[in-house]
Amino acid sequence: MSASRILFIALSIRSVHLKLLALFALAAFAMMTLSSPAVAQEVPVIGDKRARCSRTPAEIYREAAPSIVQIFSFGINPYRVVGRVESKTGSGVFLGDDLVATNFHVVLDATSLAVGVEGIVFEAELVGRDPVFDIAVLRAPGLSAQIDPLPLAPSDEVTIGQPAHVIGYPLGIGKSISTGIVSGKGRVLPINTSSWLSPFIQTDAPVSGGNSGGALIDDCGHLIGLVTLRSVSPEAENIGFAIPVGTLRRELPELIATGKVARPWHGLYGQMVTPVILQLLGAPPIAALFTRGFLVETVEPGSAADKAGIRGGMFPVMWGMEQMILGGDIITQVNGTKVASLEDARIVVQELKIGETVTVKLLREGIEMEVSAVIEERPILDRDLEAYRAR
């Protein structure tokens, strides 16, 4: 029996079933609250494989710390009397040619910027920004005469358990180093609907406010990530996240050259179909043997998915600690490529090109359909900015 036929039978009662689930599903859910710190850089690639080193934290700090700078961000809030001047501090990584990489959230809403290093303050200007991956690049004329750039790790790969060091300006009190390990990789965090395209590195090296834009460094003294988030949940201990150096390698040249990253705007978010989701949809167990695809949970207004008529879900459900929105389309193919795993979905999205027309096959209430979508460039959305302001 075909997957679409199985789902058609099962989903005929979907509406009633999902309404009951949305009404009565009770589960404890604790969302991890995240606050931002982070940045990164780009420099020559050294070799083909990750070198094995065993430098001490003191040696790492002595060699790498001079390349880490402090960011001063000043803004004006016209709607306030007390607190109308808003100031933030963060960290940055020197890239060479007077350029510094830091986090977008560090410079958000800034009307003036400065970079500090070894007691000297340089006026800075914004060169490029990418709120999707929380990256920004500044230019501070004269900085190159003071310090050298921090080299990038020769490989994008990291190993869980390898030494990791965070250098930055925690709480703005002064340049500091904290040490730990790479405690996880491939972490997908709910920053925005494109964040899953660049999973984060997790580290247990302590991260504090002010470390945003600081460096995550391996035991060879090379940059492996741009510190960008820390968990502030009272139940969390030493859970920090960094943008991988591979993402920086791809993003920085375009940010420096054009001031932005031109990125295709598909405009949908969701998750892969799982046996749990099929169970909640009321499908029989056998459906799990046939049904593969990407469940669309939300669609951004004005995006390619929205204009193509792709539908998101309508029924929010909790399953243990997991959130999901059911009732949306299930995408099975894009341009003839099957979407059977999260990696398939990631590759499909990464291969999208601005201006192209894509053909999407999907299941809607068990019925197979095909729609076309024209891919446009993703704008900076108000919700991108709201998410960072709320941190």
| Active-site option among 212, 219, 329, 384 | 212
How far apart CA 178 and CA 64 sit, in angstroms, is: 13
Would you state the pLDDT for residue 36?
Answer: 37
Is residue 74's pLDDT more than 50? yes
Average pLDDT over residues 81-93: 89
Q: What is the pLDDT of residues 297-312, one digit of tens each?
A: 999 999 999 999 999 9
Taking the C-alpha atoms of 380, 309, 365 and 279 in order, what is their torsion angle to the nearest 10 degrees?
0
CB 82 within 8 A of CB 37: no
Distance CA 71, CA 40 (A): 13
DSSP character at residue 311: -
CATH no. for 34-261: 2.40.10.120
Classify 67 in phi/psi space as left (phi over 0), alpha (psi -120 to 50) or beta: alpha
DSSP H or E segment with residue 382: helix 382-389
* Cα–Cα nearest to 243, from 223, 258, 263, 261: 223
Instruction: List CB contacts of 98: < 8 A, sequence separation 6 or more.
Output: 139, 140, 141, 142, 143, 144
* Catalytic, out of 134, 218, 219, 329: 134
* 134 catalytic per annotation: yes
Assess whether pLDDT exceeds 80 at residue 390: no
What does the alpha-carbon distance between residue 3 and residue 5 come to, in Å, rounded to a whole number? 5
Q: Output the DSSP codes for 146-169.
A: T--PPPBPS-S---TT-EEEEEE-
Local structure of 90: helix, strand or coil: strand
Q: What is the CATH number of domain 3-28+267-374?
A: 2.30.42.10
Q: Residue 317: what residue type? A: V
**pLDDT for the residue numbered 126:** 97
Q: Which of 4, 36, 105, 165 is catalytic?
A: 105
For the full predicted model, state whether its pTM sits above 0.75: yes
53-57, 65-69, 290-294: least confidently modelled range: 290-294
pLDDT tens-digit map of 318-355: 877 778 899 999 999 999 999 998 889 989 998 999 99
- DSSP-assigned beta bridge partners for residue 362: 331, 369
Question: What's the CA gap between 217 and 60, in Å, rounded?
Answer: 8
d(CA 82, CA 370): 56
Dist. CA 129–CA 263, nearest whole Å: 13
Rounded Cα gap, residues 332 and 345, in angstroms: 10
What is the arithmetic mean of pLDDT over 15-23?
36
Cβ burial of 174 (10 Å; 0-12, 13-18, 19+) is exposed
| In the block, residue with structure tokens 């031109």 | 262
**198 among known catalytic residues:** no
pLDDT at 323: 82
Q: What is the pLDDT of residues 200-254, one digit of tens each?
A: 999 999 999 999 999 999 999 999 999 998 876 777 788 999 999 999 999 999 9
Q: Residue 226 is inside which H or E element, if any?
A: strand 223-231
The chain-wide mean pLDDT, for the chain, equals: 83
Amino acid 40: pLDDT: 37
Work out the average pLDDT over 280-291. 66
**Lowest-confidence region among 76-85, 166-175, 176-185, 363-372:** 76-85
The domains of the chain are located at 3-28+267-374, 34-261
Asked if residues 255 and 264 have their Cβ atoms less than 8 Å apart, the reply is no
Residue 168: which pLDDT band, with cuts at 50, 70 and 90? very high
The confidence band for 42, taking pLDDT boundaries of 50, 70 and 90, is: very low
51 pLDDT band, cuts 50/70/90, is low
pLDDT at 286: 61
pLDDT digits (tens, 9 = 90+) for 103-160: 999 999 999 999 999 889 999 999 999 998 999 999 999 999 999 999 999 999 999 9
212 counts as catalytic: yes
CA angle 40, 97, 136 (to 5 degrees): 35
